[in-house]
Structure 1
């Protein structure tokens, strides 16, 4: 297990060094409204959209890695838009230190609304009382926070998934509230897990089940369209791919069975990781991702310095999603016609 983690880190460091040596990108110029990356004054990653009324809120991690650092993520940020062109920055919604039981790593998160409150689920590194990655939940009366720890302890710890293969499997939470009001939490790295949440949104309601689809790496995202459930995720075919892509599966029920549908999009440019977030906003569907094309001053994009992007998302008549091409134009141009 330790050898596997060491090899993974060595691979990522080598790729980061390659990016620094070969990219030589100029500082990103301000593109057309809606073009990618959509946030250009900070490095951001792991996008998680939420629609509230006529506003889309986008929750991201803040990449602060310096020079040869791998990751340095200490806080979560939120941006909002009413038109998918102009983005408003709000104050940081939470710092990893606000989870008193956590010691580092403000990793991927998602916020959802339920019963007039906003619940924020996030991956962190637990302290020595429960070694490994863990998932916390915080709550706020507003989508822009501030958020406070809703439990005073982790919702999911590494010890709760003993069949996993490594200590960082409990990351990247995603939450879906079904039509009957039941909410479900999915998460994972290498293994994908799902569990029902109690109505209070701060406790699991039943057993943890494994639903790992083909080539699952991390970053699951749950959404529903019509009667079909979608599990979209960062995938890695280790026999043929160097970097993460995005794949997805569908199911007639949240509990499955899940049918693998293949690739949705390729890797993020210059980035080893990728992280999907999907939402419908004002009658259009959008796919949020990240890459490493942004440069700020003399800091180029890298594994720990990523930038959030967004593309139009369209569906076929049978409910499958059309493959998405990642572009610099993003949603500054209209989608192609169905």
Structure 2
């Protein structure tokens, strides 16, 4: 555990750089899992070694947890702790991570692994001792990053991931540690990277980064596997950040858009920061464009 952030606006975290957030609600608490940018202000490319979580019960005060997981926790990995997604199932917490493989490189060498814990704040351990997805997985892509896992109403789990304009999806077995069938290609208009699935009422939403520098755009479907109907831009280009990486969550009957920007002093393309703003729907269930704020969202009374 670390210091609390009391009464913060956006960015939520001000003493470190945080990126690629993914939200999880458990036991009346919102957890946001993030990567950790440690690049200096002059060098280029992302420099990331570990992952953190930040929790709140009131959307005003946040507690730091971590680092909870690092490159060193995966014996088969050699670096680059990129985007991740943590979910809960049957009392266990599964944390899917993008990380560079030390032995398997056909394209860019990234793989997707999974860690597990009995608690949302760890300790986490490598759940299977090897990667779920690598460059050698049939129908994988040039850059296997940005996993997002969704468990549908019937209990079937799906993992989405993608970058460089290619999106993939595969079913997971009930143990959340094995693929269940072949890797499928996902068709989503203007997709670039960072897929994320959520559902409201009977409609599924696939949000993702589009273009580079990226906006966040989205498509909808009556099924978690598509087909996906394009609906437009959700979050516009970010000043100083070429990436746009989002998660969406319902917490205490409110919907939130969790993302990063680069607005901290010294922030930039490789030095990003966690933000949270409202997510609102139109009467017909579409998503209203995000209004980014410096104040973040109202706290609960």
Report the TM-score when normalising by structure 1.
Answer: 0.83
Tell me whether 1:147 sits opposite 2:124 in the alignment.
Answer: yes
Counterpart mapping for 1:171-210 below 5 A: 171-189=145-163, 190-210=165-185
Aligned length: 292
Given the superposition, is the C-alpha separation of residues 153 and 32 from structure 1 closer, same or farther in structure 2, using an over 3 Å criterion?
closer
1:34 Cα deviation after fit? 4.5
Look up the match of 1:293: 263
Larger radius of gyration: 1
Q: 1:73 aligns with which of 24, 44, 48?
A: 48
Look up the match of 2:288: 322
Cα RMSD for the two superposed structures: 1.6
Given that 1:34 and 1:331 are in contact with CA atoms closer than 8 Å, whether structure 2 keeps it comes out as no
Given the superposition, is the C-alpha separation of residues 219 and 292 from structure 1 closer, same or farther in structure 2, using an over 3 Å criterion?
same
Q: Which has the higher strand share?
A: 2
Q: 2:31 aligns with which of 36, 53, 57?
A: 57
1:304 Cα deviation after fit? 1.2
Given that 2:68 and 2:123 are in contact with CA atoms closer than 8 Å, whether structure 1 keeps it comes out as yes
Deviating above 6 A after TM superposition, structure 1's stretches of 4 or more consecutive aligned residues are none
Counterpart mapping for 1:1-338 below 5 A: 33-69=7-43, 70-131=45-106, 132-162=109-139, 164=141, 166=142, 168=143, 170-189=144-163, 190-236=165-211, 243-295=213-265, 300-332=266-298
1:303 Cα deviation after fit? 1.4
Given that 2:148 and 2:161 are in contact with CA atoms closer than 8 Å, whether structure 1 keeps it comes out as yes
**SS in structure 2 at match of 1:97:** helix
Q: Which has the higher helix share?
A: 1
1:59 Cα deviation after fit? 0.2
**SS in structure 1 at match of 2:136:** helix
1:333 Cα deviation after fit? 8.0
Structure 1 alignment gaps of length 5 or more: 1-30, 237-241
